[in-house]
Structure 1
Amino acid sequence: MPRDDHPRARIAKQRKLAGYTQHGLALKIGYSYSYVHQVEGGYKAAGPDFTAACARALHVDVTALTGQPYMTELQQDRLAELIRPIRESLDLYDLGADPDVATRETPQLVDAAGTLCEHVRATQLNKAARTLPRLITEITTAAYRTPSTELWAALGSTYRTAHDVTVKLGFYDLSTIALDRMEWAAQRASDPVLSAVRQYMRGLVYHREGEHTIGLRLVDAGHFLLDQGEETPEALAVSGQLHLGATVIAARARDADTVQTHLAEAKTIVDRIGDMSHVHWLSFGPTNWSAHELSAFTEMGKYGKAVEKARKLKMPDSWPTSRRAHVWIDRGRSEMETGRSEAALSSIAEARKLAPQQTRYHPGARATIEGLIHQQRRTPDALGYMSSWLGL
């Protein structure tokens, strides 16, 4: 890779600043010296799990190593200009009603919040990012003027969408703020289920950073919130999703027993309530259970098993585009790691066809293409084109 700001160069720089040799870093993160040497030397890709382990050991944010957000690509896609309005809308939550804003009726605002979620599930990130700031302002104003459970819950949902958008574009500082605002709205809606969803999403934030223990504690906190209320199908679906979140957190920690425990708990709920993909836009159901099983095998480095599961996984066309693309990215990574180069490139191309913006900014997709380049004696045109498109 010709770029000086490549992840391997950042890892080497931060390692030296922290005073570690390659041997020392390898001991700290639980990888072999050979693996660290190959990553820094450009012979092996820095996968998400390796990068998270380095970030944790070196006491830096994972974005310091990945280079997110990818500003050149964001500017090319005309997404960078949309971030400041989102930042402002998240910051001005406590100013009360905006006197210059006319608001729609509550049912219309609730529908608008749902439509915004649908844009993200369909990976229409540009459309969602453009709509988001104005809708946050409008629902906030309406909730201050005529407070109601419906409006506060709709605002919580809109903040959740802000988290989804900013995570997908690599602005993790904003995604954390959005989750704080989500809890602020959930408290006013007196909605423990919405608060539990927020704990699930916080757990995945710490998963990205390699803080597995904290991530699992947040999952437990989500279950505790649900236990305070009645057992409804909605609460069961969120409980099941919390278990699925715990599987990928534990998988990155290579804790196979905990992975199996949470998979089994989630399967019990799936068998009981079936497909509940409409609940808080979590996609909970049999297909999502299988997708998380695939992700768990990928995170644990059981790539052959992951490829086997991926081939058996049938995703209905009605399943959210964002989830289908994520499965293709997981599949591509496992295919790359098992030497199935053509299949891996095909999988990432499929993810790109489904969700181009999501794929372009997904660290797993970038690590897979980078890994394929390292494996090739010469770069085929299709791989070179994909690499250039990703900005590698």
Structure 2
Amino acid sequence: MSTLDGNHTGARIKEQRRLARLTQRQLADRLPFSYALLNSVECGLRPATADFVAACAKALNIDVTVLTGQPYMTELQRDRLAVLVRPIREALDLYDLGPNPDLTARPAPQLITAADELCAEVRATHLRNAARALPGLIAELTHAAWSTPTTELWQALASTYRTAHDISVKLGYYDLSAVALDRMDWAAQRASDPCLAAVRQYMRALVYFREGEYRIGQRLVAAGHSVVGQAEETRESLAVAGQLHLGASVISARADDQAAVGRHIDEARQIAKRIGDASDVHWLSFGPANVALHRMSAAVEMHQYDDALKQARKMKLPTQLATSRRAHFLIDRARAEMETGSTEKALEHLVDARRMAPEQTRYHPGARETITGLVHLSRRTPDTLNHMAAWIGL
């Protein structure tokens, strides 16, 4: 069996447990997981699932990123992505200074189009391009919205803040993503846009989902439904409501509430039947395909790997589905393949995900843990897996 050095999640759990002066048995008593699993993860014999990491972080009263090692600075610096984060941070900090006398912004229609194009870049997983263009666009839109405030400009500014959140999450800068969501709320209020406000609640719910605070995540989804319920029933408001149900489905799956998963998936499916593909609405990718993808993801979250694979094998993803969603599907499928013993298939799907969305895959915690798991499971590590492990910095 192949071995790894101490740079893996299990080793970090062990380190933080010792800093908290807890024995393995004492930490296991605080977890909804067995002592045997904790021991295996710490030793590197089993990969750490996202729900396991969240439970350990909660029990140790630390942030999840301490255990996952995010952001992955060495890889970010190698990819020259780390240097793009500081300008985004600075742009988010200048929201309340009013018009910039030293700036000449493009006309409003061009800025609004540019904000939409940045969302498309993120969905296409062109993170470097989006991160490079984002600070300047935030500066221009901030100036324009303060100078000639219109609903459309505030909406576009809220959209750029949402893009800042998306990029920050994908690169592992969760502190920055929280700031971006606060700015999104600030701009959405000025736009008086309940749909944007509901999208922001959806994204907040996913933050707590990652942290293992499932009850808070469920409350935020409920708050999002309340907000979007104030809007007129349109294709836009229905798509946002449907996406809230999808978010609730994975949160419920992580909380091991199968009945709630079924209810939310059914609600989302009914909405998708009414409006069809609505992937253009706020770039949420909502539609029948995304409902099916979330149903499979929920099965993975509940460790129902056989069921997840059955769903995956029947799935035919539409050509218009965003690259980011396709890559996420491949990463979920790779996890299910590995957990059911099909390690070669798992590696194939990860290689496909890398080919399709290299930046997203490299910094995706699920992909990294699955690669780690494959290395541990391999008696003789194939060259392709060696390359993948080196690529993520293992």
Equivalent in the alignment of 1:382: 384
Equivalent in the alignment of 1:207: 209
Equivalent in the alignment of 1:335: 337
Task: Return the letter of the residue paired with 1:258.
Answer: A
1:332 Cα deviation from its structure 2 partner: 0.3
Task: Return the letter of the residue paired with 2:62.
Answer: V
1:255 Cα deviation from its structure 2 partner: 1.0
Write the deviation string for residues 233-262 of structure 1: whole angstroms up to 9, x where unpaired: 110100000000001111111111111111
Write the deviation string for residues 313-372 of structure 1: whole angstroms up to 9, x where unpaired: 111222110110000000001111111000000011111011000000000000111111
C-alpha distance in 2 between matches for 1:153 and 1:7 = 39
Matched residue of 1:382: which SS? helix
1:8 Cα deviation from its structure 2 partner: 1.2
TM-score for both structures, normalised by structure 1: 0.98
1:286 pairs, out of 281, 285, 288, with 288
Which runs of no fewer than 5 residues in structure 1 stay unpaired?
none
Write the deviation string for residues 211-237 of structure 1: whole angstroms up to 9, x where unpaired: 100000000000000112211111010
Of the structure 1 ranges 309-318 and 220-229, higher mean CA displacement relative to structure 2 is found in: 309-318
Equivalent in the alignment of 1:74: 76
Map residues 225-240 of structure 1 onto 2, 5 A cutoff: 225-240=227-242
Task: Return the letter of the residue paired with 1:341.
Answer: T
1:281 Cα deviation from its structure 2 partner: 0.4
Instruction: Tell me the matched-pair count.
Output: 392
Report 1 or 2 for greater relative contact order, CA contacts < 8 Å, sequence distance ≥ 6: 2
Equivalent in the alignment of 2:374: 372
1:138 has 2:140 as partner: yes
Matched residue of 1:378: which SS? coil
Equivalent in the alignment of 1:296: 298
Task: Return the letter of the residue paired with 1:382.
Answer: T
Task: Return the letter of the residue paired with 1:326.
Answer: H
1:22 pairs, out of 21, 24, 31, with 24
Map residues 215-226 of structure 1 onto 2, 5 A cutoff: 215-226=217-228
Equivalent in the alignment of 1:56: 58
1:106 Cα deviation from its structure 2 partner: 1.2
C-alpha distance in 1 between matches for 2:83 and 2:67 = 24
C-alpha distance in 2 between matches for 1:22 and 1:251 = 27
2:352 pairs, out of 350, 353, 361, with 350
Matched residue of 1:266: which SS? helix
1:112 pairs, out of 107, 114, 124, with 114
Task: Return the letter of the residue paired with 2:287.
Answer: G
Matched residue of 2:30: which SS? helix
C-alpha distance in 2 between matches for 1:264 and 1:210 = 24
Instruction: Output the aligned Cα RMSD.
Output: 0.9
Question: Stretches of 4+ moved more than 6 A in 1?
Answer: none
Equivalent in the alignment of 2:261: 259
C-alpha distance in 1 between matches for 2:318 and 2:265 = 21
C-alpha distance in 2 between matches for 1:54 and 1:224 = 32
C-alpha distance in 2 between matches for 1:65 and 1:93 = 32
Equivalent in the alignment of 1:183: 185
Matched residue of 2:331: which SS? helix
Which runs of no fewer than 5 residues in structure 2 stay unpaired?
none
C-alpha distance in 2 between matches for 1:250 and 1:94 = 37
C-alpha distance in 1 between matches for 2:380 and 2:337 = 19
1:123 Cα deviation from its structure 2 partner: 0.4
Task: Return the letter of the residue paired with 1:291.
Answer: L
Task: Return the letter of the residue paired with 2:335.
Answer: R
Equivalent in the alignment of 1:163: 165
Percent identity, aligned pairs only, is: 62
Matched residue of 2:212: which SS? coil
Task: Return the letter of the residue paired with 1:357.
Answer: E
TM-score for both structures, normalised by structure 2: 0.98
Equivalent in the alignment of 1:320: 322
2:40 pairs, out of 25, 30, 38, with 38
Of the structure 1 ranges 44-53 and 282-291, higher mean CA displacement relative to structure 2 is found in: 44-53
C-alpha distance in 2 between matches for 1:288 and 1:158 = 23
Task: Return the letter of the residue paired with 1:348.
Answer: L
Task: Return the letter of the residue paired with 1:159.
Answer: Y
C-alpha distance in 2 between matches for 1:5 and 1:370 = 10
C-alpha distance in 1 between matches for 2:4 and 2:101 = 52
1:104 Cα deviation from its structure 2 partner: 1.3
CA contact (8 A) 2:4 2:376 kept: no
1:2 Cα deviation from its structure 2 partner: 4.2
C-alpha distance in 2 between matches for 1:310 and 1:53 = 27
Task: Return the letter of the residue paired with 1:78.
Answer: R
C-alpha distance in 1 between matches for 2:355 and 2:309 = 20
